[in-house]
Structure 1
Amino acid sequence: MKRLLAATMLLGAVAGCSPPPALSDADGRVQVVTTTGILADLVRNVGGERVLVDSIVPDSADAHAYEPTLRDVRNIVYADLAFSNYLLLEAQNVIKALDANLPDGVEQISLAEGATKYAAEIIPLVEDVSLDTVWLGLRVHGDGAHLGADRTSDVRLTATAADGPGRLTAYLTESFGNPDVFVDSGDGFDPANGYRDDTAVLPPEAHTHMSWAFSEAGAYRLTLRAQLAVSADSRPVPMGERTLTFAVGVDPHTVPGMAGATVLRGGHTDITADLDSGDIHLLADDKRLDPARTVIEVPAKALREVPAGPGLRFLGRPGTRVYQLPQAVLGRHVHGEIDPHLWQDVRNAQAYAELIRDSLIAADPAGTATYRANTDRYLRELTALDDYVRERITAIPAPSRYLVTTHDAFAYLAKAYGMVIAGFVTPNPAVEPSLADRRRLTETLRNLRVRAVFLEPNLRARSSTLVEVARQEGVRVCDIYGDAFDDRVTDYVAMMRFNADSLARCLT
């Protein structure tokens, strides 16, 4: 399989279902569909008995990777109102299924974006840039609205040619180690099929990490073409073609034709298709670079052995040595520029509730008094919750308020309640962590005297390295909830109270 993030839409999945008029539940309740269980819980608290709520992503599932089912589509078709978080929290197929199947005239509310009008605070998504080599990902800049694009549109980044002394491979490793290859120069490039086998697909304003592997040392060049598909049946809009240069295991200053070029050695760099300017450039830690005047260094220290197992055989036999720029974060980690996990600050959840209230009133004016009363009650409950979380975390000694987790979902909690994000780990089960990776984590735990690390229960399978190092250092391993409920924690208030108690108990 060589398609990255290719969306399979569930259009027309419910044969013969014609959406009924508003307030379509048999007893007159407003039928609401949300993307996640957390949003569903907020809607139930505001809507009370006047609403019937279904969540697309079930409890314990990962909203970043969930694939909608036919049952989900049926719930969408019959909805009177829909709520998503967005800011690219949900998998793109969830958003496409929602937007494509809502009845005409039914409103879809993006809570994370709309809540800013209700005093919600947003913060940039900041990622750790401490790897020893470049993090080289793919990005789409701009929303393409001036071209008619919306959040269901696709930008296609296509590799059309490559040259170098060996094989160049770019791929994404999914959450459980399954590779999804974007480009493989070893099997050529086929213009007859539109280079479909070497095309990555991303929505507007999105970003994803990648792994890059090279079989031999030397200079490589890769030509990429970008196109915007406004809709599934529209003719793609061309956005230019550029060539990238890599210096693999050799002095980057000696690459022919690149004298005086900028050399990228570290940090976070994205190959960026820019919908605003209509071209391709490199975005290196917010600095825009011209690919024609830039060399991406893949140093000799990037040499790795292909691990055993069939998953990475496309790189070579186990034990074969390849130069690798590793994927920064495991899995289909597509995101935007703003951290989407706003609800980890209870005051942001209050803004969500107010937006939900006003949206329900617009859809069901007869329920205005009920929605206002329910919201007032819930806001008082959330104010008490905010005080509780603050009190519990404030009781933790300041030198112990370091948070090390499996997933970058807690920046809002840290900012609102005085924690410090010391690190997050998303290990790649297909590749053994390097000694440098383990040493860095070990030094973080030792130098900061971290008392505990925190795992999200639904991501426990991805956390073996963190658990091993924590146990080696005598550090506790505790639970924390990010964006999914389970049988133990079934609502938002319980989730935030659990997190506050877990932090206080394990870090004090």
Structure 2
Amino acid sequence: MRKRAAARALSGCVAMVLVVSGCAPAGRSGDGLSVVTTTEILADLVHAVGGDRVQVDSIVPSGGDPHSYEPAPADAKHVAQADVTFTNHLLLEEQRLIKAIDSNAREGTPNVSLAEDSESYGAHVIPLVEDVGLDVLWLGLRVRGDGTQFGATRTSEVRLSATALEGPGTMTAYLTESLGQPEVYFSSADGFDERDSTTLPPAAHTHLNWAFSAPGVYRLSLRAQLNEPSGTPKPLGEDTFTFAVGVDPETAAPGKRVLDEGHTDLTVDLDKGELYTFNDTTGGTTQEEIPAADAVIEVPNKAAEQVPDDPRFAFLGSPGAPIFQLPQAVLGKHVHGEIDPHLWQDAGNASAYAQLIRDTLKKVDPGGAVEYDRNTAEYQRKLAGLDDYLTRTIATIPPGNRQLVTTHDAFGYLADAYGLKVAGFVVPNPAQEPSVEDVRKLTETIRNLHVPAVFTEPNLAQRASTLVQVARDQNVQVCSLYGDAFDAKTRTYVDMMRRNADELARCLGGAG
């Protein structure tokens, strides 16, 4: 399957919602300010600030997952009618949802990305760290920067194309989807053409497998350009990356920096208009740029495998043929940014969101400024009380028990703000399926740390079977935390966070 097929489907989806927005009326009247948010959590924050002066609708329904929700025509109509639109973004929401919002929001109406704009109100952001602990390099693709000088927006696409390969064999870069279906991005087997490309949004990262058919030194040339819905593509640079496959990298490429462990991305820099390697060799604490000309990527002999006896992988060669492969590490399509987007799990960040919402509503509805100020001040007092409650309740948990094992990586801010540690999760993103290695590592984490409980999410119960089964095998209690969504029992942000604190204390041995 080629990426261009997915791109055509995406273009069709965006075109569909654009048609809807073209005939939608402008704004509702008589019901107060019309506000659309992507999630119910954001809608609750808007309601707390706006009170009776706003009517708020959430696009993602109750119990829905913003990581995977895809827009419908009715969503486009709601956006086209809105006076204000709020998203979380930082790549929390599915990119097609962001495209639908930005394509249909009426000109002149605020379209605010709360997570990205709340830092100026004191929000604390933390990097999204990935450390799979492979014994070979983990190699992906990345786009850094916002590219404003090139005219980029959050709905822009950066197209990365393979243009040439020098080496003793063929090279294939492909993604293994959740159910094992491969999707080829670049393949030199039949020469490079327009099919050998993929797209990423600004500030995004994705994982790939990199397979080589024979040992030796390879030089792969990549070209990047910025694509907009209309207009001429803008070049962003091109460069050549060196791979040492099954040979000594220092001998094969003398004088170059050997990249042989940790996490490296072949990176397009939207601000500089150039390509380079972006590297993390210390678990996310230190990252550095190394020019392509100064680096050699090692694909060692221990990465040698055989082509599976599966017709889906025939593009790699005959069944049983030897290949050298850097693995994808995380199964499934998983595009994310450099910053953890789940800011609201820290009550202090929710306060920053509220202030940004207040100032946005005041610009659109200056007549309501006094009420918005009053509501926000009252809500901030409530959030301060919530923050204190979270701190006091979680502090009752014995220090050795303050370990979080969850369905997906959504609780970094909760841990950072209230003295917990994210000990493990099944997968980084709930849209993924766990691999055998994921299950093994999860089992070892639970066993070695002697955790008393693991935590699923109410809206992801159907995807928590792996965590539940591992917990049962280890005789560990299964509890629940709210991450990205409400449910029928919990309908406000404050209630959600208080329930999280109570559940953590109850399940991890605190006083409650």
TM range (shorter): 0.7 to 0.9
Which deviates further from its counterpart, 415-424 or 443-452? 443-452
Secondary structure at 1:382 match in 2 = helix
Q: 1:272 aligns with which of 267, 271, 276?
A: 267
Shift in Å, 1:106? 0.5
Shift in Å, 1:359? 1.6
Shift in Å, 1:459? 4.1
Distance in 1 (alpha carbons) for counterparts of 2:171 and 2:461: 33
Shift in Å, 1:463? 4.9
Shift in Å, 1:134? 1.4
Structure 1: runs of 5 or more not aligned: none
1:252 aligns with 2:249: yes
Distance in 1 (alpha carbons) for counterparts of 2:180 and 2:463: 10
Equivalence for 2:283: none
Distance in 2 (alpha carbons) for counterparts of 1:181 and 1:59: 35
Shift in Å, 1:90? 1.9
1:201 aligns with 2:206: no
Equivalence for 1:210: 208
Between the aligned residues of both structures, percent identity stands at: 57
Secondary structure at 1:220 match in 2 = strand
Matches within 5 A, 1:87-236: 87-175=90-178, 177-190=180-193, 195=194, 197-229=195-227, 231-236=228-233
Q: 1:29 aligns with which of 27, 32, 35?
A: 32
Residues 12-31 of structure 1, C-alpha deviations (whole Å, 9 max, x = no match)? 221652542xxx32424111
Shift in Å, 1:99? 1.6
Q: 1:17 aligns with which of 16, 23, 33?
A: 23
Secondary structure at 1:82 match in 2 = strand
1:377 aligns with 2:416: no
Secondary structure at 2:19 match in 1 = coil
Secondary structure at 1:14 match in 2 = helix
Shift in Å, 1:42? 1.2
Q: What is the identity, as a one-letter code, of the residue corresponding to 1:155?
A: V
CA 1:449 to 1:243, structure 2 compared with 1: closer, same or farther past 3 Å? same
Distance in 2 (alpha carbons) for counterparts of 1:215 and 1:59: 48
CA contact (8 A) 2:31 2:55 kept: no
Residues 282-335 of structure 1, C-alpha deviations (whole Å, 9 max, x = no match)? 011222223233222223333456678776565568877654323244444333
Shift in Å, 1:108? 1.1
Shift in Å, 1:491? 2.9
Equivalence for 1:281: 276
CA 1:318 to 1:429, structure 2 compared with 1: closer, same or farther past 3 Å? farther
Distance in 2 (alpha carbons) for counterparts of 1:15 and 1:83: 17
Which deviates further from its counterpart, 381-390 or 93-102? 381-390
CA contact (8 A) 1:79 1:102 kept: yes
Equivalence for 1:291: 292
CA contact (8 A) 2:208 2:328 kept: yes
Which deviates further from its counterpart, 280-289 or 72-81? 280-289
Distance in 2 (alpha carbons) for counterparts of 1:86 and 1:298: 35
Distance in 1 (alpha carbons) for counterparts of 2:479 and 2:305: 33
Q: What is the identity, as a one-letter code, of the residue corresponding to 1:224?
A: L
Secondary structure at 1:12 match in 2 = helix
Q: What is the identity, as a one-letter code, of the residue corresponding to 2:236?
A: M
Equivalence for 1:237: 234
Equivalence for 1:42: 45
Q: How many residue pairs align between the two structures? A: 495
Distance in 1 (alpha carbons) for counterparts of 2:459 and 2:304: 33
Q: What is the identity, as a one-letter code, of the residue corresponding to 1:478?
A: C
Distance in 1 (alpha carbons) for counterparts of 2:88 and 2:236: 30
Q: What is the identity, as a one-letter code, of the residue corresponding to 2:2?
A: K
**What TM-score, normalized by structure 2, do the two folds share?**
0.87
- What is the alpha-carbon root mean square deviation over aligned residues? 2.9
Which deviates further from its counterpart, 107-116 or 4-13? 4-13
CA contact (8 A) 1:158 1:226 kept: yes
Equivalence for 1:66: 69
Distance in 2 (alpha carbons) for counterparts of 1:99 and 1:160: 32
Distance in 1 (alpha carbons) for counterparts of 2:217 and 2:478: 45
CA contact (8 A) 1:128 1:423 kept: no
Shift in Å, 1:477? 3.0
Distance in 2 (alpha carbons) for counterparts of 1:384 and 1:506: 23
CA 1:317 to 1:347, structure 2 compared with 1: closer, same or farther past 3 Å? farther
Distance in 1 (alpha carbons) for counterparts of 2:311 and 2:493: 41
Shift in Å, 1:439? 5.1
**What TM-score, normalized by structure 1, do the two folds share?**
0.88
Secondary structure at 2:405 match in 1 = strand
CA 1:431 to 1:351, structure 2 compared with 1: closer, same or farther past 3 Å? closer
Distance in 1 (alpha carbons) for counterparts of 2:201 and 2:432: 27
Q: What is the identity, as a one-letter code, of the residue corresponding to 2:240?
A: T
Residues 465-488 of structure 1, C-alpha deviations (whole Å, 9 max, x = no match)? 544443333333332222123334
Shift in Å, 1:37? 1.9
CA 1:221 to 1:17, structure 2 compared with 1: closer, same or farther past 3 Å? same
Distance in 1 (alpha carbons) for counterparts of 2:115 and 2:145: 18
Distance in 1 (alpha carbons) for counterparts of 2:465 and 2:299: 28
CA 1:405 to 1:217, structure 2 compared with 1: closer, same or farther past 3 Å? farther
Distance in 2 (alpha carbons) for counterparts of 1:218 and 1:464: 43
Q: 1:51 aligns with which of 49, 54, 66?
A: 54
